[in-house]
Structures are given as C-alpha cells and as structure tokens.
Structure 1
Amino acid sequence: MEDALEERAESDAAFREALMRERERTEHGEDMSFFVKNVENVQGDERDVIVFSTTFGKNEQGNFRRSFGALGQAGGERRLNVAVTRAREKVVIVTSMPISDISDLLTRRGGPRVPRDYLQGYLEYARTVSDGLGESGKTLLDRMVTEQRSHRETGNHEDDGFTRSVEAFLEANGWKPTRARDGGAFSLDFAVIDPRTGLYAIGVECDAPRHRLLDRARAREIWRPKVLGRAVPYVHRVSSYAWTHAGDAERLRLKNAVENALRKGGLQ
C-alpha cells in the first residue's frame, strides 16, 4: 500500500501535496495524521474514518485458502476487534474475500468456535448493514456473543445497594439521574441531564467499569474516557469504599462534581 501511494505521489503533484499534508495533520494538538498499518500495529490509534482492507482472495486457479495471517491464529478475534474499533465515525471495508468461504459459521447453528468465524461474522455483519438489513445484522451480532457477561458488564445489577444509594442521593439533591447502562464498554451507571440544554451534563459511574475490553488500565483510564467525552463532557467516578467509610466526603465530592458540570454547561 505504501508503495502504491508513493508511486501515485511521484506522478501526481496534487496528490503528493495532499498526502504530505494529511501525514502531518493534527487536531487540537492530537496526532490525526494519515497512516497505513497492518492489523498487529493499530492498537491505540483512532481516526474519523478507517479503511479496513484485506489481501486475501481466490488464486489464479479460483481456489480460496483459509489462511488469514494473524486474524486466523489464536487470539485473532481480539486483533480483529481492535482493528475495527479504531474508527470514530465510519469503517470502510475493501475486500476480495468470498465471505461464504471464510468459515462455516453462517451455515451452522451456534456461535463462533475458531478465529476465522469472527472474521466471517464481522464481514457478513458489515455486508448486511451496508445493504440496509439492520435486523439481520442484529441477529448475527447476538450469535457472536460467546461469554456469559457479569452483572456489572451487562448493567444488570438492580439489587446493588451501593448503586441504589448513589441514585437516591442524586434524587435527594433535586437531580433526575438517567440510567445509562447498555452492557457495553462505554456504559455509565447514571447520566444527569442539563435541563437548559437537554444534553448530558455529567456521567456517574459506581466504581471502575468492568468489561473485558477494559482489562488494561490504558483502555480503562485513557481510551474509554476519551471516547465518552464526545457524548458526555464530564464523568465522575464514585468509590464504593469511600461511600461506605468516608461517606460525607464522598457525597460532597459527587455533589460538587454535578454542580460544577451543570454550571459549566450553562456557560457554554
């Protein structure tokens, strides 16, 4: 890919200038430059649009080998997950792979068993979404879930006394917390809406989030807040330990956080 870009740049001055400009692009001090990377090296990078291209297809004899490099090896599903979640707005897929031949996930019942099942499932999901078949895509996504989620991960912890106590405290102070759990890595326990704008002013999470995508501290404390910040300007974490052992101080900290977020929202 890099060779093709350089070849085009040598013969097209306008393209060369655009390529050089994009390779140096920053936004608000953040590196947003154009890059070309393989699936093993994209972790941590984010761009508005990611072009996800595959180099696997039928050979001259019309045969298709089920050999997909890192994506077909143990842990390939995790590499795939990283690669296709780098885009902030859109993923564009360029592929010569016959989806039906990648694996046998689509022709049998049950969920994925081997790494190539995830690749087939993702490309088929992308195809259905592109064709406007949202319900079919949702059904396929449901099949891809292979782990029993914890209560914390699914947001199904209605009997959590700590969470109910935080909710009661917010309500006692005149706020109307909205439950904002969807079972994903970006779930929050509550969000408080600014009545003047109708937008979320602050999100509240009860202890650190627990999700398999957030096992690493960098993902949990840097990547997640950065992505959440596009929808919720402030996120406040309440500690169950402090709520129990230093309740007055922890409640005051939460109260101040909500008040500050609402005040700043009104100044925008």
Structure 2
Amino acid sequence: TFAEAFEDLRGLDNLIQELNVEEKQLLVVLADEIGKVKGTEKEAFLRGVENSFLLSWIELMEAHSPVLAEVSSRRMPRMREDFRQKVSERQEKVVQLILRKLKDEILDNITYNRLKNPVTYRDIGHQVRKQRLLWSVRQLIREFWDDGLSRLMPCWLASPESVAAVFPMEKAFFDLVIFDEASQCYVERALPVMLRGKNCVIAGDDKQLPPFDMYNVKVEDSEAAFVEDEMAIEVESALDLARNIFAECKLMWHYRSQEEELINFSNHAFYDGRLNIIPPARAFPEFIPPIEFLRVEGFWKQNRNFEEAQHVVELVETLIQRKDQPSIGIVTFNYFQKELIRDLMDQRLQALSNEKNEALLALLTNAIERKEDEEYMGIFVKNIENVQGDERDIIIFSVGYAHNEKGKLVSNFGLLSQKGGENRLNVAITRARKKVYVACSFDPETLSVEGAKYPGPILFKRYLQYAQAISMDRKDAANRILAQLGEGDDEVEDGGLKLRIRREIDLADRIAHGLEAIGLSIKRNVGDTNYKVDLAVLDREGNYILGIECEGKNFFNGRSSKEREVYRTNLLEGRGWKVHRVWARNYFMNPNACIQEIEALVKAV
C-alpha cells in the first residue's frame, strides 16, 4: 500500500541522511552498477553485494574482538579436545577426592588409649560383630550416629518407609536427600523424609508408573476438608508435588535404545518428540527390523494363550544360542500369561535335563542366572506392572489376547485400561537396548478400542500397528502413525515446520550442494529424533563414513557448551561416528577451502 511504501521511503531517507561522504559515494556507484545488470543477474548481483557487506562486518567485529576469530580457527579443535579431556579427568578426580575426604574424616577423628589402640569406633565394631542380642539398625543409629557411624556410613540407600522408621525425626538430619523414581512415591510417604534433609533432589518421570499399592486404602473422605493446602489433595506422587512447587530440569538425551525405532513411539506419544538419540553410523546389508512383529495362531482360553507362550519359549531357546548372547526379558499383559510362560520355561529345563542335552541346558541355565557386574541380568518374565527399572538387550512381548473358542477377540486390558495405564505401556516399550519382539495372535487393525475411557488401550493398539509397520519395513506407515500421535515432527511431509528448519540449515544445504558437485553421496538430517546429524557422507555400501555438523538448529540443540562439545561428541563417537564441524564464518569466508578440507577427510577414511 501507499502508506507502507511511504514509511519505507521515509526510513530510507533517514538512513541516507546519517551516511558519511564515503558511504554516500558508494551508494552512487552501486546504483550505477545495478542499472547495468539485466534480468535474473540482478538478484545474483545484489546477493554478492550483501555478502561483501557481511564479510566486511565479520572482519570489523573480529578486529574489535579477536577472540571471535579463534572460535572458528584451527586452534578450536585442539581447544575442544582439551576441554573434553579435562572434563573426563575431572570426573575421575572427583570420585578420588570424595573417597579421600571421607577417609580423612574417619582417620582425623580416631582417638587412642594409653596402649595406642584405637577406641573411637570400638563400640560400633563390637555391636555389629557380636552373634547374640543383636541391636536393631534403629538402635545403632540412635546410639552411635554422632559418635562415628555417620562418618563410617555417610550414604544410606533405603525406601521412604524405612527412612521414616529407622532414622530420628530431626530437621536437617541429612545434608542431602535424593528421591529416585519419585513418580511412584506417595506424597505422604515422601514428606517425612524430605523434612530430614537440608537439601533435596527429586528425580522421576511423570510419564512412567504412578504410586500403586493394591493393599493400601488412601484416606479421601471428609478429613480432606481439614487440609489447609489444597495442593496436598490435588497431587498424588512426590514428583507431582515437586513439579508444582520447584523449577524442573528435563533430561532430553536417551541412552538405552541403540536403535531409534525402539524409542520413537514413546518419544512421540509421551514426550512430544523432545528426546534425542544419536543415530548409528552404519548401514545393514539386508533389512533387520529393530522391532519384529510375530504373528502367532494362538487362542484365548482360561485367561491365557498357550500357543503364544510356547512360541515365546521357542524364541528364547533360539536367542540364547546366538554368538553375542543377548540378555532377554519377557513382558506379558496379564498375570496368567506370565505364570504360563514361567511354567513352560521350567518344563523346558526339565525336558532338557531328561534328554541329557547338556549343551542347551547349560546355555538356558546360564541365561536365566546371568549376572553383569554383580547385577542380575538373567531372563525375567514379568507382567506390564512390574518392569520399571529393568532393561535388557532384547525384550519379548507376549500380548496374550486372542480370539476365544467362539471367535470373539478377547481384550480385557486390566490396569492398562485404567487411569494412568498408558504410563505402564510407556515403561514396557522402553526396556529394550537392541531389539523388541512382539508375539501377537491377531491383526492390530481388528482390535476394537472405541469404547476406551482412558488412552491406554488406544495407544496400545497404535503401538501394535507401529510394531507391525517397522517389522515390515513400511517406514511411511510408521511415520503416519507417529504423526497421528499429536506431535509436529520434522519428518511429516505436510507440516510447515520442515520448511522452517530448511531455512535454518541453509549453511548445511550449501555445503551439501558443494560436496555433491564433486561427486560425494550426501544424506541430510540423519536421525529420527529431535537431534539430527546435519550431513553424512556415504560410501558405496551406504555406511556413514563422515558426519558433518553445521551451525544451525541441530548444533544449538545443546543447552550448554559442555553438552555440545563433550557429551554429544562422546555419544557420536560411541555410536561409531567420525564427525567434522564446519563453522559458518569459515565457509562464508572461503567456501572452496571448506569443501576441499571435507574431501581430504573422506579420502583419508
């Protein structure tokens, strides 16, 4: 409109009035040159002029603040590596320092009798070594806490109920109280423990299991009218209470799953696509799905599915004979299916013993009794309510539900269909490090969940559909399911967000075009989660031989320099990546040199 044009003209006039003599002369020269340029060349000419201004501005800023030039100099990689090394050394030395301080505190408080024998901790030693008339832990704490027990045992691991029962109800009794899995702790059980600490850290995930105690009846009658603070009756867990009062820090990096497909459903359904995972830097010569959907011809009878349970036991027998010997967990969706699989496992052990198949019997026994670093990592068989905190290389789901003798698909989801049931599903589907098998006796499309009151059954059906799509290498179908979960993912083709990201990674696009021009095969935005490797150079087999980080959305995804320069780099290298970073300043100052440097790195691989 005329009004808008008038404002632009007035702004231009004010700008010209502020220019010095040399700047005005430059504008006259540019106006003459622009008049000589014809057609489409005018746009390229204007971009060149803009680029010249930007380069001059870079030089001016670096002259004023020389440290800016160092950020993108050859010195920067050495500084980054030095930073990583110092962080690693600090982590090791902090452990040594803590142990040294604890030891010094113990030794500094030792007193001796006239015979030079230590007497400070003698009474404590006597009580813990005697065989009769043993003191309770509570009595030991009451008698000896200030007389050395707190120095000998400064850290205690206990449930909230044990802390309330054993330790005195004294304010600031502990320097620090830490709650783990706080979503499962009732507020009334957490508060007495919080009051015993000077400081408190409350860690948990509100998308995982809530407090649950089928034998506990919570008071929710007229006594609530006497509670002055209404928040106390609006929240159930210690985590909910803390989130309503204190600032929270979200952990956005997912470490367990080695394949993105294992976490993608949970990431979209429960975490709004915010979780980051490093994609693997390799390609398989043939399709090996991280989630495998196993269609079983099973039937529902007496609240169990024998055919499916038998199939699971046979699968376990196959897996334990693999050379890599993966750890295995089995998750069922009801109690009776869990008991059936346990019975069949015991029967198989007995059968192998009767058959004198010593080799297979030893493999199965070792797989069941397996330990890693003193932690039990053997085969477990649990229902969906009891798997939080567990993880295995391979998780096998036995869905169990199937058509009964009358041909009706039975789907009594139990706790999964209740309020918060979707959190139980989230816990179960995130237990695997390397692979998931889903043994199911029906087509997911036939599962009716229209009458579900809560999201659990609906998300369960969608997960089965997602697992089937991944198993069949139907990536488009899997992406559609993820898009339907309500999160605007970058990979959704009809979303406007993808265009916005393309504008943000203009530098990556320019580098990609330059590398493709010299014959390299390039893939953009490698990864399915929030973090993506900007560019990857592929070899003939499709392996990523070099990852390229650019200054853009993905680079600044890290919230701190330590996350970007240390932790993320360590994760990338741990997944097999060799990463090269291109600074925007270096590229725009000399794009050819950047392309040649990358080409040399590729040839050196």
Range class of TM-score, shorter chain: 0.5 to 0.7
1:116 aligned partner: 457
Shift of 1:191: 0.8
Once the two structures are TM-superposed, the CA of residue 64 in structure 1 deviates from its matched residue by 3.9
Give the conservation status (yes or no) of the 8 Å contact 1:180–1:189.
yes
Counterpart in the other structure of 1:66: 413
Q: Which residue is 1:108 aligned to? A: none
CA 1:22/1:148 → structure 2, altered by over 3 Å: closer, same or farther? same
Q: Distance in 2 between matches of 1:102 and 1:173?
A: 53
Give the distance between the partners of 1:53 and 1:121, measured in 2 at CA: 16
Query: How far apart are 1:158 and its partner, in Å?
Result: 1.7
When the two structures are superposed, what TM-score results if normalisation uses the length of structure 1?
0.54
Q: Does 1:167 align with 2:511?
A: yes
AA matched with 2:579 = H
How far apart, CA to CA, are the structure 2 residues paired with 1:170 and 1:104?
Answer: 52
Distance in 1, matches of 2:399 and 2:570, equals: 26
The residue number in structure 1 matching 2:310 is none
After TM superposition, give the deviation of residue 176 of structure 1 in Å: 3.6
Whole-Å separation in 1 of the counterparts to 2:369 and 2:600:
40
How many angstroms apart in 2 are the aligned matches of 1:255 and 1:70?
59
How many equivalent pairs are there?
A: 230
Change (3 A) 1:174 1:64: closer
Q: Residue 222 and residue 24 in structure 1: after superposition, are their counterparts in 2 closer, same or farther (change >3 A)?
A: farther
Tell me, yes or no, if the aligned pair for 1:80 and 1:119 is still in contact at 8 Å.
no
| Matching residue within 97, 103, 111 for 2:449 | 103
User: Is residue 6 of structure 1 aligned with residue 346 of structure 2?
Assistant: yes
Structure 2 distance, partners of 1:52, 1:120, is: 14
Asked if structure 2 preserves the Cα contact closer than 8 Å seen for 1:192 and 1:201, the reply is yes
Of 399, 407, 414, which aligns to 1:54? Answer: 399
Distance 2:397 2:367 in 1: 18
SS of equivalent to 1:190: strand
Superposed, 1:13-32 pairs within 5 Å as: 13=353, 14=357, 15-22=360-367
Equivalent residue for 1:236? Answer: 579
Q: In the alignment, is the contact (CA less than 8 A) between 2:416 and 2:456 conserved in 1? A: no
Q: 1:204 aligns with which of 539, 548, 556?
A: 548
Q: Which amino acid in 2 is paired with 1:200?
A: Y
**SS across alignment from 1:145:** coil
**Residues 1:141 and 2:485 are matched in the alignment:** no
Q: CA deviation at 1:237?
A: 6.4
SS in 1 for 2:427: helix
Distance 1:146 1:19, change over 3 A: same
Partner in structure 1 of residue 31 of structure 2: none
Aligned twin of 1:180: 524
Superposed counterparts of 1:68-83, under 5 Å: 68-69=415-416, 73-76=421-424, 78-79=426-427, 81-83=429-431
3-state SS of paired residue (2:396) = strand
Higher relative contact order (CA 8 A, sep 6+): 2
Whole-Å Cα distance in 2 between the matches of residues 161 and 235 of structure 1? 21
Distance 1:103 1:169, change over 3 A: closer
Unaligned runs of 5+ in 2: 1-340, 492-496
Secondary structure, aligned partner of 1:46: strand
One-letter amino acid matched to 1:103:
V
* Structure 1 Cα separation of the partners of residues 479 and 528 of structure 2: 17
Determine the C-alpha separation between the residues in 2 that align with 1:16 and 1:41: 29
CA contact (8 A) 2:515 2:522 kept: no
Aligned-residue offset at 1:17: 1.6
Distance 1:181 1:174, change over 3 A: same
Decide whether aligned partners of structure 1 residues 160 and 119 sit closer, same or farther in structure 2, where only a CA change above 3 A counts: same
Change (3 A) 1:4 1:226: farther
Is the 2:425–2:456 contact (alpha carbons within 8 Å) kept by the matching residues of 1? yes
Deviation at 1:69, TM superposition (A): 4.0
1:188-227 equivalences under 5 Å are 188-194=533-539, 199-206=543-550, 207-208=554-555, 221=568, 225=572
Q: CA deviation at 1:155?
A: 6.0
Question: Which entry has the higher C-alpha Rg, 1 or 2?
Answer: 2
Q: What residue number does 1:93 align with?
A: 438
Closer, same or farther: CA 194–11 of 1 in aligned 2, 3 Å: closer
Instruction: Judge conservation of contact 2:398–2:440 (CA < 8 Å) in 1.
Output: yes
Deviation at 1:201, TM superposition (A): 0.9
- Over 3 Å counting, the alpha-carbon distance change for 1:184 and 1:7 in structure 2 is same
- Alpha-carbon distance between aligned partners in 2 of 1:119 and 1:74, rounded to the nearest angstrom: 8
Amino acid of the structure 2 residue aligned with 1:117: I
Contact 2:538–2:545 (Cα < 8 Å) also in 1: yes
Shift of 1:95: 3.4
TM-superposed CA distance for 1:77, in Å, is 5.2
Alpha-carbon distance in 1 for matches of 2:573, 2:344? 33
Give the CA deviation at 1:119: 0.9
Aligned letter for 1:92?
Y
Q: Deviations over 1:201-245 (max 9, x none)?
A: 11223445869xxxx99xx85997489x4xxx4242648xx7669
CA RMSD of aligned residues (A): 5.6
